[in-house]
Chain A
Amino acid sequence: MNCETARLMMENNDPGLDDHLLSCPSCIMRTHAQYYEAPPGLAEKIRGQLRKENPTPRPIPWRWMAIAASVLLVASLTWNLSMLRSRVDPQQALAGDVVSAHIRSLTGTHLLDVPSSDHHTVKPWFNGKIDFSPAMKDVEGFPLLGGRLEYLEGHPAAALIYGRRNHMINLFTWPSAATAATSETRNGYHIESWSSDGMAFWAVSDLNEGELRDFITLYRRN
């Protein structure tokens, strides 16, 4: 007999079944041994455990990466641009300083430290105040009005003030290895610069450009 026979006997309530089962442990197991089913919830417990074991890698947030990247790009561009703007030509910066010093001298009460048309008075006044001796020159048609101490390009500078009708000319001078020649107009002020004998010269005035050039020509000739 085999187990198929046993199944048939069982279905038919055959009284010979018990005998068969006892003679066949295999059959008795297959027909009567308990098959344990997993308790409900065990599958979910296991799945939870596996998820912990194997955490799904977070998807890379490309969207946010893109936003962050563009923010960085804009910030970097802005910074570079501002750096570019702020990197002003030192000569240009100095021209600005010269104009500022000129305007300051006219608006304040501090045009002249030593009011004198005599360069023999003005020149000695600078002694002991600066470590160079500015070239004092009489310039025809541009009377010397006096001198003043200035501070330009990180140096003490001598300011010589010449007049022309109601206009003032500030001539700044200080020792400088090289000063590029400049000729420009800012805020209505003309600026001229040159270099001579290791000295920088900056002339600034509200005089018209032609007359300022004349002044410089005469000054340099003398």
Chain B
Amino acid sequence: MLETMDSGRKQALFEQIVMPHLNAAYNLARWLTRNVDDAEDVVQEAYLRAFRSFETFQGEDGRAWLLAVVRNTCFTWLKKKGEESAVEFDEQVHGSAGDAPNAETVLLNQAALGSLHGCLEGLPFEFREVMILRELEELSYKEISDIARVPIGTVMSRLARGRKRLQLCLAGALK
């Protein structure tokens, strides 16, 4: 639908559909890169990419579409930096639900809340992305599966395991 639009109209549409989701883009980039400067650079690059491929925008949700671009930009950014390995998290190696702390006995205090940030950042990329998209952006499983390029089932299992790991991490921080 956007193939033949002139540049002025493209700019106006982009401003209307994509620009309002700058905070969502930045939040995701900030959580995925875990770095202020990288987040800003990634968001800028992502917007440029989004603008260049805006012709392919099919009129779905602008926020989900933009976040997919941001996610991919982060992914290649981090790979270039050699920081993250996109290796699938191995549940067997990294523990199981059996290690969950007894919630009744642990009091959540300021220290625990402080460690929430560290625990989240400590999650591998593939868990962090689904957790941020689900809990902070409140996207649907379908939208997340499109953005992360994995089946919905994988999204759900990653969410479950990510939450468990977060729980474990918090419990560990409180010990």
Chain A partners chain B: yes
User: Interface readout for A26-49 with B: 1 if CB under 8 Å, 0 if not?
Assistant: 101110111111110011011101
Quote the shortest CB–CB distance from A76 to chain B (angstroms): 35
Find out whether the CB atom of A18 lies under 8 angstroms from the CB atom of B40.
Answer: no
Within the complex, which residue of A17, A22, A26, A37 is in contact with B170, where a contact is CB–CB below 8 Å?
Answer: A22
Chain A residue numbers with a CB within 8 Å of B117 are 33-34
Assess whether B135 is in contact with A21, with CB atoms less than 8 Å apart.
Answer: no
B108 touches A18 (CB 8 A): yes
Q: Is the interface of A mostly helix, strand, loop or mixed?
A: helix
Contacts of B23 in A (CB 8 A): 35-38
- Give the shortest distance, in Å, between A46 (CB) and chain B (any CB): 5
Say how far B146's CB is from chain A's closest CB, in angstroms: 21
Nearest CB in chain B: distance from A30 CB, A:
5
A22–B7 touching, CB < 8 Å: no
Residue B104 is within 8 A (CB to CB) of chain A in the complex: yes
With A22-B106, A54-B7, A54-B11: A29-B51 Cβ-Cβ less than 8 Å: no
A176 to B116, CA, bound (A): 115
A13 interface hit (Cβ, 8 Å): no
Given contacts A33-B120, A57-B7, contact A26 B47 (CB under 8 A): no
Q: Does B145 contact A (CB under 8 A)?
A: no
Among B26, B48, B103, which residue has its beta carbon within 8 angstroms of that of A22?
Answer: B103
Which B residues between 14 and 45 are near A, CB-CB below 8 angstroms? 14-15, 19, 22-23, 25-27, 30-31, 39-40, 43-44
Q: Which of B26, B51, B107, B163 contacts A54 (CB 8 A)?
A: B51
Contact A43 B19 (CB under 8 A): yes
Query: In the complex, which residues of chain B have a beta carbon less than 8 angstroms from the beta carbon of A19?
Result: 103-104, 106-108
Interface residues of chain A, those whose CB is within 8 Å of chain B, are 17-19, 21-23, 25-26, 28-30, 32-39, 42-43, 45-47, 49-51, 53-57
30 example contacts (A-B, Cβ-Cβ < 8 A) are as follows: A18-B112, A19-B107, A22-B108, A22-B167, A25-B166, A25-B167, A26-B135, A28-B108, A28-B116, A29-B136, A29-B166, A32-B113, A33-B136, A35-B27, A36-B23, A38-B22, A38-B23, A42-B26, A43-B22, A45-B44, A46-B19, A46-B22, A46-B47, A50-B48, A51-B11, A53-B51, A54-B10, A54-B51, A55-B7, A56-B11
Other A-B pairs beyond A29-B116, A54-B51, 17, CB < 8 Å: A18-B112, A22-B167, A22-B170, A22-B171, A25-B163, A28-B108, A35-B27, A36-B26, A36-B30, A37-B23, A38-B22, A38-B26, A39-B40, A46-B19, A46-B43, A46-B47, A57-B7
